A and B are shown apart, each in its own frame.
Chain A
Amino acid sequence: MTAELPLKIALYTGKGASHSWIWFVDTLSSHGINTIEFITDTGDIAADVLVVSGGDPFALFSHIGKHGVSRIRSFIEKGGTYIGICAGTYFALRFHENPYPWLNLVDGEISNFAIEPPPNIRMPHKYLVKYRDGFVFHPVREAVTLEYNGYTIQAPLYGGPGILSANAEPLASYSQFTPKTMFLCGKEEARQALLGKRALITKKVSRGCLYLFGPHFEHPHFPDANRELIALLSKIPHRGYHVEPTGSQIKGNEKRTWIKEVKRWVSNGRLAAFGLQNYQWKIGEKMYDPERLAYFFQACFKLVSFLELQQSIRAIPDIPERARTLTLQVRNLGPDAAQAEILLEGIKTLTSDLYSLYFSTLQPPQLPRTP
């Protein structure tokens, strides 16, 4: 009997994943879902759900590789649920005779691909990605209105696709722009590219299922979209996966010393990251700016501040040293994209480890797994 075990979510945070997975974690956590495991490869997915969120689908694939892709396919075929958001959706779609051996489990066409995209009017670094003989272009950013289940909700779009047609069931479509929508090309071209197109689709594959989101329903500033995401997650069957606690329990002086060291270096890193200026790094096909790095440090700081207030916490011994190393890397960071990438991967791992400790500190011990 395994029904007592909660839904377990494996969240991909490895290469190619941007910072938007933090939104996913925060939103789920604020709805009481704390059974999230962070994975950086897809070799063995022991969870009910695999989430691949925003980032760079080219980098995702080059890291996950053919073997990882076949493991994801097998995870779905055996009853797992795949949730793709933005990059995670491109990764799962076979569109325009996709020449890449990505997941390709849903056949469809995207509306934001063109041989000659409309002229760009702002944020050129966010507008185009070369793809085959044309470009994937991003007509708008920020909040858009979606038609979902017969009513409208808002969610932000940061590069996710409009889906023209697919061998999948449509759940939501782009219906309107909002006063907060930022146009990267002319309004009319944006309208043509997006409105009426699918924003969320689902498809059953063998015993499993895929949900592919264009917009970020998980963004914490969009409570209606958050609620729908949670409602959707609540329908996913629990298959009885156990979440192992991370780290070891510490308290008293040991805890105080550990947390102080972590806080010291996370604070230093955060301040140095906010102090970085005028750099942009091209990592894979995506442009990163200091704000992204600062976002991770900020998330770490928030988690450390929570742990600081607890009597007894879970801890990983080498985190202070890792935080220190990352801080020194931030302080020495210049325009070199390779250095920025090392730092980005390091801070992602630190952030996910701190989230794991946060969840393990929060969670009461789970029921033992029944053989």
Chain B
Amino acid sequence: MELYTDLIAVVDLDAGEVEEVDIEEDFIEKNIGGACANNALLSQYPDSVILGTGVLTGTLFPGSALGVVTAKKNGTVCHSAFNWFSGPELKLSGFSFVVLKGKAENPVYLWLHDEIADIESTDLWGKNTWETTAYLREELGENRIQTLVIGEGGEKKSGAALLVNNYWGTDDRNGLAAVLGEKNVKAVAMRGMGEVEISEPEEFISAAEEVLTGLKSKIQKKGAPVEGLEAITQRFDACFNCPYACRNFVETGENEGVVIFERHLKDLMAHGLDVKKAAETLQTCYQLGVNPKYGKDPNALTTMGSQPAQPLEDKEGWYYTLGVCPILDQFGIDEEAAVRAITAGTGLEISADTLDDIVSRL
């Protein structure tokens, strides 16, 4: 299927087995991708955690860094996002979607590479997210491996658990790290050299370039707009193929620092911390895999009770389906060009109305 790598990994954690299922065109036509496709897979495999990529994830389309994790929490279907390079890496590992069903008897990590999904038992339980990522990269021999990791928050099934991508917090607003913890999944490591095919490359590239030109004309800044942050910033980083380097890197010690996710930093400042202290605390939150939305004491956050689900807001469902970062919405993405990119990329006749219709089911 164009714009996707070929497989869905259905990981049976009870049995320790993986089934590889081909992605059918019909599935994409009906669900497009990302959150919508995850929803469909969740109906098919209830009580699973689904990792999915959007239809544009990992392509030349600007901001196409997004992957989506979907699971039911307290009976509600919840979506959280991850980006940086992990969305594209998941797709290029050969698995555009991963279904984690059942529960592993003992802690495991999942290693996705070149259309192989390995369930590896591990004694990483109890290690923080930084140690876990460093260990996996060392063990598997490749620094470009992207990881989705849970820390103490996820292991203890805290309501404030936060999924961490490598070393930095994701937008896991629904604490789905705790659901991975329930399943005894410590981490998902991803690396692949797969490729996605494009049905009509020239049309696709032209639509993507149109969007990029539009975005570039409006992006006048770098970093997160947080008062005092720029003064303590050492550099600005961007996720895969994103024209807006919204992520500030702030040094927190010798050879140490944290990549800021704006909302998390603002949460800590709302709890009364100054920007520098907030950045330092955020680093600890990421190491422990906890979300500062619920408090400023990272240790206390590892044992929080259940928190209400955070539904997708405004146009987020649309972005979560496409696999494009919703932070770019402030610059006004040309939606018509995005739909053209999907049509040219997949070769499917998908109109803006059809897309809206599918997204409205979220």
Contact = CB atoms under 8 A, between A and B. Distances in A.
Most buried by A among B118, B139, B144, B191: B191
A263 B114 contact: yes
Interface stretch (A125-133, A134-142, A235-243, A265-273): A265-273
A328 to B, nearest CB: 9
B113 interface: yes
B140 A264 contact: no
Contact of B140 (A271, A276, A301): A271
B141 A272 contact: yes
Contacts of A327: 141
* Number of chain B interface residues as a range: 10 to 19
Interface string B116-144: 10100000000000000000000111111
B86 to A, nearest CB: 16
Contacts of B140: 268, 271-272, 331
A331 B115 CA distance: 20
Contacts of B191: 271
Interface residues of A, number: 16
A274 interface: yes
Given A330-B141, A331-B139, A271 B116 contact: no
Interface string A79-114: 000000000000000000000000000000000000
B78 to A, nearest CB: 32
Interface string A251-286: 000000000100110011011101111000000000
B144 A267 contact: no
A331 B140 CA distance: 7
Could you say which of B114, B141, B145 has the most chain A C-beta atoms within 10 Å of its C-beta? B141
Interface string A120-162: 0000000000000000000000000000000000000000000
Contacts of A330: 141
Contacts of A268: 113, 140-141
Contacts of A331: 139-141
A268 B141 CA distance: 9
B142 A267 contact: no
Contacts of A270: 114, 193
B22 to A, nearest CB: 14
A161 B144 CA distance: 39
A268 B139 CA distance: 11
A42 B23 CA distance: 50
Interface string A328-342: 001100000000000
Contacts of A274: 142, 193
A271 B115 CA distance: 13
Interface centre among A260, A271, A327, A331 (most CB of B within 10 A): A271
Interface in B132-166: 139-145
A158 B270 CA distance: 63
Interface string B342-353: 000000000000
A38 B202 CA distance: 44
Nearest to A266: B114
B114 A272 contact: no
Interface-central residue, B140, B142, B144, by most chain A CB under 10 Å: B142
A134 B113 CA distance: 49
A263 B194 CA distance: 14
Interface in A168-222: none
Nearest to B143: A275
Q: Which of B118, B144, B193 has the most CB of A within 10 A?
A: B193
A339 B144 CA distance: 24
A225 B113 CA distance: 37
B255 to A, nearest CB: 18
A301 B114 contact: yes
Nearest to B20: A260
B141 A267 contact: no
A301 B115 CA distance: 12
A277 B143 CA distance: 10
Interface in A274-317: 274-277, 301
A274 B143 CA distance: 10
Contact of B118 (A264, A275, A301): A264
A300 to B, nearest CB: 12
Nearest to B118: A264
A325 to B, nearest CB: 14
B116 A260 contact: yes
Contact of A263 (B116, B141, B143, B144): B116
Nearest to B142: A275
Contacts of A263: 114-116
A275 B144 contact: yes
Interface string B84-98: 000000000000000
A53 to B, nearest CB: 27
Nearest to A272: B141
Interface string B283-298: 0000000000000000
A264 B140 CA distance: 12
Interface of A: 260, 263-264, 267-268, 270-272, 274-277, 301, 327, 330-331
11 contacts: A264-B118, A267-B113, A268-B140, A270-B114, A270-B193, A271-B145, A275-B144, A277-B143, A327-B141, A330-B141, A331-B140
Interface of B: 113-116, 118, 139-145, 191, 193
- The 3 tightest CB contacts between A and B, nearest first, are A272-B141, A275-B142, A331-B141
Given A272-B142, A301-B114, 13 more contacts: A263-B115, A263-B116, A264-B118, A267-B114, A268-B113, A271-B113, A271-B141, A271-B145, A271-B191, A275-B143, A275-B144, A276-B141, A327-B141
